[in-house]
């Protein structure tokens, strides 16, 4: 059986970044991909999706953005083409259409795939943080006859059965899908739990430009107060559009979306919503203003000549948000579970998980030549961004190279 | 943030070091976090009752308060009752205010904010057509609850608002009143 130094599982931005970092160190490896390069961006995204990070934040390893619109937001299809160019430019040793079935240890890592088994001294898991929807246990209580989908299976409004839509979850995916459904004329109800709020533009620049400048993405994972908490933080509540519009609960209510509390339970055909909506909205407003205060301080410290601060109005919370919704009687045809994502590591047959089924790792290092990439706040908040994979890959490849068993003397 | 907190020591009488220690210990032994709270209620006369609390389960073993406490409940003359004590719904409002107030003190301590005074005023609206069975469309419980905090502390208005917001996020009674729970009542 051929023995490789490293097998990388997944050819997304993380896997391609690691491939380039290993190639630069002369480490032989293969990149296994269940489909084609950038598979989840090809097959698990809705039609209209554009990245919420501007082009300058989406540079791929060896292929930094060189176009004319660094502040634009690319559609998913553009990103897929970039992935293909990146793999070609770097000559990544790819094995596409090769699905990993299991990873075990037997005098080396044994990677069993639907195309045969490989043996390797080290492994980099790069199968993505958003492989599966995180759906609450009570989802089974949803009455028959109501379609249930997630942002991974949602494609376009017309695909949904006739009728209204209940969207559970107000992070980026839930907000964007609720907006698209409302614009398509659907009655849309958005269930809102703990969430964040950001303006798209602030004081003449994109909010992400300011967040970079204020250093909020830079704290290394081993210097964070409560890493578990920050790793649970959802993606930033933004959307990418030509008009750089802000996506928040006020904007959605202007489009006719009804906001209600967190979806807490489904009983006897009725959705039950938490009475905590006002507090979650107040918390989101407070956090937003704290961040903007930090941006203002940075602008002042740097002596920048930029437009004056304009703060968003507080989130409008209905006086008495709905607490229950009879799904069938209200004509709800679909429930969208936009309640977060989790990785799919079912192929990893090794004792590396904590009691909640999450991989235990130290900045991506699991131990014994096993690595994971692409998880939220893997090494810093940059780890969540596409361009952040390059630095993570360099750090982990350096660690991997040092510990690689010496090859037989040539 | 840690450095800042270490430099700012507030004296609110909450032992947050012990609470943070418990939080760290629970990450190691999550089973210790399973608690069961209990109360026993004896009917006295009319709508007057007396509940007693003392024992509870937690930290993997049977535990006890330092002594037994009693909570009495009754109804006012407007309900043709003897008014020996607060109504159960007022006790619920008191429990909500107590829980949120304890949370404000604990979060303030953790954030190094010195409190001078904290007063929570709670109101719950209720249409008694529900409990009297007059109108099946009216629920028995509160149609709305309002809590207003008046906090005097060494902090900005936004910092105080953040204390009150965080207190709600970590409050057991706030969760109990804002989310459904399965309740099973049996006869021995």
Query: B50-99 pLDDT, tens per residue?
Result: 999 999 999 999 999 999 999 999 999 999 999 999 999 999 999 999 99
* pLDDT band at residue B29 under the 50/70/90 scheme: confident
Structure confidence at residue A301 (pLDDT): 96
Residue A39 in domain: yes
- A 10 A CB-CB count for B20 gives 11
Please tell me the number of Cα atoms within 13 Å of A152 on its side-chain side: 16
Please state, rounded to an integer, the average pLDDT across all residues of chain B. 92
Question: Could you tell me if A143 and A124 lie in one domain?
Answer: no
Residue A408 in domain: no
Can you tell me which residue has the tokens 């009674």? B173
Structure confidence at residue B165 (pLDDT): 97
Rounded Cα–Cα distance for residues B188 and B185 (Å)? 10
Structure confidence at residue B1 (pLDDT): 38
Tens digit of pLDDT per residue, chain A (410 long)? 558 999 999 999 999 999 999 999 999 999 999 999 999 999 999 999 999 999 999 999 888 888 899 999 999 999 999 999 999 999 999 999 999 999 999 989 999 999 999 999 999 999 999 999 999 999 999 999 999 999 999 999 999 999 999 999 999 999 999 999 999 999 999 999 999 999 999 999 999 999 999 988 888 999 988 888 888 887 899 999 999 999 999 999 999 999 999 999 999 999 999 999 999 999 999 999 999 999 999 999 999 999 998 999 999 999 999 999 999 999 999 999 999 999 999 999 999 999 889 999 999 999 999 999 999 999 999 999 999 999 999 999 999 999 886 554 33
Min Cα–Cα distance to chain A from B121, Å: 17
* pLDDT band at residue B16 under the 50/70/90 scheme: confident
Record: contact B178-A261, CB cut-off 8 A: yes
Listed residue (B122, B173, B176, B124) closest to B150, CA to CA:
B122
Nearest CB partner across the interface for A282, out of B161, B174, B175: B161
Can you tell me which residue has the tokens 């005074």? B117
Question: Could you tell me if A148 and A211 lie in one domain?
Answer: yes
Structure confidence at residue B56 (pLDDT): 97
Q: Which residues of B82-111 are buried (b: 16+ CB within 10 A; e: fewer)?
A: eebbbbebeebbebbbebbbbbbbbbbbbb
Rounded Cα–Cα distance for residues A344 and A33 (Å)? 14
Record: contact A282-B144, CB cut-off 8 A: no
* pLDDT band at residue B18 under the 50/70/90 scheme: confident
Strand partners, A113: A100, A116
Record: contact B30-A355, CB cut-off 8 A: yes
Residue A410 in domain: no
Last residue of a domain, one of A337, A354, A386: A337
In chain B, what residues touch A225 (CB-CB under 8 Å)?
1-2
Record: contact A286-B165, CB cut-off 8 A: yes
Question: Could you tell me if A126 and A137 lie in one domain?
Answer: no
Residues spanned by the domain of A362: 3-131+343-403
The percent helix, strand, coil of chain B (3-state, each to 5) is 35, 30, 35
Nearest CB partner across the interface for A286, out of B2, B158, B180: B158
Record: contact A265-B166, CB cut-off 8 A: no
Nearest CB partner across the interface for B178, out of A225, A274, A290: A274
Q: Is pLDDT above 80 for B107?
A: yes
Rounded Cα–Cα distance for residues A273 and A260 (Å)? 7
The model's pTM: 0.91
Domain boundaries, chain B: 32-86, 87-181
Q: Which CATH fold would you assign to the domain B87-181?
A: GMP Synthetase; Chain A, domain 3 (3.30.300)
* pLDDT band at residue B14 under the 50/70/90 scheme: confident
Q: Is A26 exposed, middle or buried (0-12, 13-18, 19+ CB in 10 A)?
A: exposed
pLDDT tens sequence across A215-226: 888 889 999 888
Record: contact B179-A275, CB cut-off 8 A: yes
Rounded Cα–Cα distance for residues A283 and B164 (Å)? 9
Record: contact B179-A289, CB cut-off 8 A: no
Rounded Cα–Cα distance for residues B19 and A406 (Å)? 49
CA-only gyration radius of chain B, Å = 20
Q: Structure tokens of B20? A: 């943070």
* Nearest residue on chain A to B168, alpha-carbon basis: A279
Question: Could you tell me if A148 and A285 lie in one domain?
Answer: yes
Question: Could you tell me if A287 and A367 lie in one domain?
Answer: no
Residue A384 vs residues A92, A314, A327, A373, B16: alpha-carbon distances, Å: 22, 28, 36, 10, 32
**Is A372:A359 a contact under the CB 8 Å cutoff?**
yes
* pLDDT band at residue B4 under the 50/70/90 scheme: very low
Structure confidence at residue A383 (pLDDT): 92
In chain B, what residues touch A216 (CB-CB under 8 Å)?
none
Structure confidence at residue A234 (pLDDT): 79
Rounded Cα–Cα distance for residues B141 and B163 (Å)? 28
Residue A409 in domain: no
Record: contact B162-A265, CB cut-off 8 A: no
* pLDDT > 70: percent of chain B: 96
Question: Could you tell me if A289 and A329 lie in one domain?
Answer: yes
A 182-201 → B contacts, CB under 8 A: 194
Question: Could you tell me if A292 and A376 lie in one domain?
Answer: no
CB of A261 less than 8 A from some CB of B: yes
Distant-in-sequence, close-in-space partners of B137: CB < 8 Å, separation ≥ 6: none
Question: Could you tell me if A146 and A291 lie in one domain?
Answer: yes
pLDDT tens sequence across B136-164: 889 999 999 999 999 999 999 999 999 99
CB of B31 less than 8 A from some CB of A: no
**Is A101:A54 a contact under the CB 8 Å cutoff?**
no
Rounded Cα–Cα distance for residues A26 and B25 (Å)? 45
ipTM of the complex: 0.82
* Nearest residue on chain A to B178, alpha-carbon basis: A275
Structure confidence at residue A225 (pLDDT): 84
If one counts the domains in chain A, the total is 2
Strand partners, A367: A370
């Amino acid at each position: 059986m051929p023995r490789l130094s490293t097998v990388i599982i997944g050819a997304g931005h993380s896997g391609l970044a690691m491939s380039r970092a290993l190639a630069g160190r002369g480490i032989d490896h293969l990149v296994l991909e269940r489909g084609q390069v950038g598979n989840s961006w090809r097959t698990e995204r809705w039609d209209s999706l554009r990245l919420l990070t501007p082009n300058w934040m989406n540079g791929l390893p060896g292929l930094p953005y060189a176009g004319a619109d660094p502040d634009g937001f690319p559609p998913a299809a553009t990103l897929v083409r970039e992935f293909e160019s990146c793999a070609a430019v770097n000559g990544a040793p790819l094995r596409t259409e090769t699905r990993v079935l299991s990873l075990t240890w037997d005098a080396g890592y044994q990677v069993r795939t639907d195309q045969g088994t490989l043996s390797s001294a080290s492994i980099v898991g790069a199968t993505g943080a958003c492989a599966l929807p995180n759906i609450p246990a009570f989802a089974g209580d949803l009455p028959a006859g109501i379609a249930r989908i997630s942002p991974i299976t949602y494609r376009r409004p017309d695909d949904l059965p006739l009728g209204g839509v209940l969207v559970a979850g107000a992070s980026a995916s839930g907000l964007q899908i609720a907006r698209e459904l409302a614009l398509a004329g659907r009655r849309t109800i958005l269930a809102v739990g703990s969430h964040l709020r950001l303006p798209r533009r602030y004081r003449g620049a994109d909010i992400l430009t300011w967040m970079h400048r204020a250093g909020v993405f830079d704290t290394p994972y081993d210097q964070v107060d409560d890493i578990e908490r920050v790793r649970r933080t959802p993606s930033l509540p933004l959307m990418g559009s030509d008009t750089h519009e802000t996506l928040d609960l006020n904007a959605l209510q202007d489009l006719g979306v009804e906001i209600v509390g967190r979806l807490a339970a489904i009983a006897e055909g009725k959705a039950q919503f938490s009475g905590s909506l006002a507090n979650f909205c107040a918390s989101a407003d407070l956090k937003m203003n704290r961040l903007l205060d930090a941006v203002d301080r940075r602008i002042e410290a740097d002596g920048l000549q930029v437009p004056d601060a304009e703060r968003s109005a507080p989130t409008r919370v209905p006086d008495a948000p709905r607490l229950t919704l009879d799904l069938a009687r209200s004509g709800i045809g679909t429930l969208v579970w936009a309640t977060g994502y989790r990785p799919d590591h079912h192929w990893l047959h090794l004792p590396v998980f904590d009691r909640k089924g999450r991989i235990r790792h130290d900045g991506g290092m699991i131990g014994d030549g096993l690595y994971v990439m692409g998880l939220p706040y893997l090494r810093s908040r940059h780890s969540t961004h596409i361009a952040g994979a390059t630095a993570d890959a360099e750090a982990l490849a350096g660690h991997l190279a040092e510990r690689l068993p010496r090859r037989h003397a040539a | 943030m840690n450095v800042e907190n270490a430099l700012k020591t507030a004296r609110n009488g909450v032992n947050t070091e012990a609470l943070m220690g418990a939080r760290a210990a629970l990450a190691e032994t999550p089973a210790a976090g399973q608690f069961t709270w209990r109360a026993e209620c004896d009917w006295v006369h009319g709508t007057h009752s007396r509940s007693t609390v003392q024992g509870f389960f937690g930290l993997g073993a049977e535990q006890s308060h330092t002594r037994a406490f009693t909570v009495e409940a009754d109804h006012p003359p407007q309900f043709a009752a003897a008014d020996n004590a607060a109504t159960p719904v007022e006790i619920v409002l008191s429990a909500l205010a107590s829980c949120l107030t304890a949370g404000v003190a604990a979060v303030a301590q953790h954030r190094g904010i010195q409190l001078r005074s904290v007063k929570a005023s709670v109101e719950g609206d209720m249409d008694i057509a529900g409990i009297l069975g007059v109108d099946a469309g009216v629920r028995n419980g509160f149609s709305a609850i309002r809590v207003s905090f008046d906090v005097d502390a060494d902090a900005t208005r936004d910092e105080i608002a953040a204390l009150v917001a965080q207190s709600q996020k970590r409050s057991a009674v706030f969760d109990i009143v804002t989310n459904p729970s399965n309740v099973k009542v049996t006869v021995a």
